[in-house]
Structure 1
Amino acid sequence: MNEIREIALKKALLMILRPLVRILLRNGVVFSVFSELVKKVYVDVAFDEHGESGKKQTLSRVAALTGLTRKETKRLHDLKQPLNNVTGNKYNRASRVISGWLNDAEFSDAPLHPSILSVEGDRGSFAALVKRYSGDIPTKAMLDVLNAAGNVVISERGVMLVQHAFVPQADEIAKLSILGADTAELISTLNHNLVCDADQLWFQRKVSNSLIQAKDLPLFQAYAAEHSQALLEQFNLWLGEQEIPEGEDESDCHYVSLGIYYYQNKLGNQDDEVK
């Protein structure tokens, strides 16, 4: 790596780490824990993605790639992942339930116009919706998840979907799961664009302006939220129309996502940049 490229990469890394370290310190994650996780990922990625073509990856080669000792490399390679992804699965399934509610004709009056559903019933009910789109999560458990997130209103008429995006309000564990999943996807997209050919780039853009007055920030927040949600719902509708029918072969299926985020900072505040 040449010197200019190395400096640019280190600067980018420091910018990524600052907001991450804020989260870690706020949640009591000390450096030794973070360091152990980083070393584990170094070893896993070296084993999974940096072997010589046609040859089995070796401890010695991984140790050389990562700068760790051979003994440490073996220990980390044998170390199991610290946590499963139960919370992440719950988040994904809640999103799938909402998507089905918006797009499936059995549960909507028209695309993006969800019906008011009775809680129980074999067809056209919330129970039927959950059974179809959430896997093995019980009806009441999913109803509690969506209710806690502010997605639904429950009345004598039934269950009404009032918020089309699943954003956990009080579930800190779910929020941390989203932190991992969404940040990983963004960085993976950036990594793809760093190494791919020009005609293989994935879409990754943002719009920004540093001359917006404080009084106008709430206006743009509301404008951005409204139009971004509408755009995402259109993408969701398109994806739902392309989804293979239940029971068909999924061996050639791919996961895709597209995210939009809002950020603001006071002009001249270099808090998230390298000082």
Structure 2
Amino acid sequence: MPSPREPTPPNPERLQAPVARLLRPLVRLLIRSGITFPAVTNILRELYVNVAEYDFALSGKEQTDSRVSLLTGIHRKEVRRLRGAGAPVSTVPASLSRTSRILSRWLAAPEFTDANGRPLPLPRTADQPSLPSFESLVVSVTRDVRPRAVLDEWLDRRIVTIDADDRIVLAETAVIPSGGSEQQLYYFGRNLHDHAAAAVANILSAEPQFMERAVHYDGLSEELARKLEQRSRELGTEVLREANREAHAASETDGGGGWRWTLGIYIYREAAADETARPFSADDDAPEAGS
């Protein structure tokens, strides 16, 4: 029997509807991308075996094909074939990791930002080592690639531009990967994984472990929905910038370890399928969704 600190997982029947809603946009993406149902079942089969093998192993006991088969409903012959294959891993592309680290420093380090925390336009090089430059920015993060090579790549990807004073300026959209790019697909997997992992941890815990909440209003006009979206972008961007500044400053003196941390914000609007939806009123519950 589960202990008081380990609540009983949701009934399978109750879980099916929210899972279907969760998967619907993913299925839309899979169909548009030409990934068929049989291909998805192969991925799920491997994941079921891998999760059962490693996440549901009993302490002090060797995990067996029979137990994995019992947990997953997959035939023992298939379990035997798939065990030990390892779960699919989303490796960080080298160029993405380097770009993220340089951008993070440009957006956070005091020597590369103005009094309002905005990234400074940077000269290519500086006459004095103590003055900020694009070269010193890149070198402060990595010496494995020449600053000029980074600049050429970023100009091609429109991450930066050159102003009239020959300074390198960070583009407003620099931290937003282009549609379908390697960078976007990497963060697609990482961000959705972390959001889902936080929500699942909260469901399986006696008390919520992570903040996982949203503010939502239904029955709005399209004009108001767009205004709220724009304002949300402004608020979210400021929160992420401030979090990046604080995390960067703290990490400078941190001893390091095997942990990672993510702060995510999402915004969404759509035409409601229910035409009878009405605006929120004072008679309703508070317009905030918890975990």
Worse-superposed segment, 148-157 or 255-264: 148-157
- C-alpha contact (below 8 Å) 2:158/2:174 kept by paired residues: no
The amino acid across from 1:167 in the alignment is I
Within 1, Cα distance between the matches of 2:114 and 2:32? Answer: 45
Deviation at 1:230, TM superposition (A): 0.8
What does 1:44-63 align with in structure 2 at a 5 Å threshold?
44-63=50-69
Query: Contact 1:150 / 1:163 at 8 angstroms: preserved in 2?
Result: no
Structure 1 counterpart of 2:172 = 163
The reply to whether residue 117 of structure 1 matches residue 119 of structure 2 is: no
Could you tell me how far 1:218 is from its partner in structure 2?
2.6
Note if 1:17 corresponds to 2:17: no
Aligned to 2:196: 187
Kindly tell me the number of residue pairs found equivalent between the two proteins: 264
Find the counterpart in structure 1 of residue 206 from structure 2. 197
User: How do 1:48-87 and structure 2 match up within 5 A?
Assistant: 48-79=54-85, 85-87=91-93
Cα gap change, 1:133 to 1:46, in 2 (>3 Å): farther
One-letter amino acid of the counterpart of residue 204, structure 2? V
Normalising to structure 1: TM-score of the pair? 0.82
Q: Are residues 78 and 6 of structure 1, via their aligned partners in 2, closer, same or farther at CA, if it must alter by over 3 Å?
A: closer
Name the Cα RMSD after superposition: 2.9
**Aligned counterpart, 2:282:** none
Farther off after superposition, 115-124 or 9-18:
115-124
Alpha-carbon offset, residue 148 of structure 1: 5.6
Which structure has the bigger radius of gyration?
Answer: 2
- Per the normalisation by structure 2, the TM-score is 0.78
**Partner amino acid for 2:230?**
A
The range that moved more, 222-231 or 61-70, is: 61-70
Question: Greater CA deviation, 227-236 or 148-157?
Answer: 148-157
Q: Is the 8 A contact 2:106 2:112 kept in 1?
A: yes
Offset of 1:52 from its aligned partner?
A: 0.6
AA aligned to 1:105 is: P
The aligned residue for residue 43 of structure 1 is 49
CA contact (8 A) 2:66 2:76 kept: yes
Question: Structure 1 residue 226 and structure 2 residue 231: aligned?
Answer: no
* Structure 2 contact 49–68 (Cα < 8 Å) conserved: yes
**Cα offset, 1:131, TM superposition:** 3.6
Q: Rate the CA distance shift 1:119–1:5 in 2: closer, same or farther, 3 A.
A: same
2:250 is equivalent to residue 242 of structure 1: yes
> Could you list the per-position Cα deviations for residues 17-41 of structure 1 after superposition, in whole angstroms to 9, with x for gaps in the alignment?
1110111111111112111111111
Call closer, same or farther: CA 1:268–1:32 in 2, change over 3 Å: closer
Among residues 216, 223, 240, which one is paired with 1:208 in the alignment? 216
> Shift of residue 71 of structure 1?
2.2
Paired with 1:109 and 1:227, the residues of 2 have a C-alpha distance of 20
- How many percent identity over aligned positions? 27
Distance 1:44 1:134, change over 3 A: farther
Q: Tell me, which stretches of 5 or more residues in structure 1 are unaligned?
A: 271-275
* Greater Cα offset, 17-26 or 172-181: 172-181
Displacement, 1:176? 1.9
For structure 2, the 5+ residue unaligned runs are 1-7, 276-291
* C-alpha distance in 1 between matches for 2:67 and 2:85: 18
Deviates more, 1:160-169 or 1:148-157: 148-157
Structure-2 change in CA distance of 1:249 and 1:231 (3 Å): closer
Deviates more, 1:235-244 or 1:222-231: 235-244
Aligned to 2:286: none
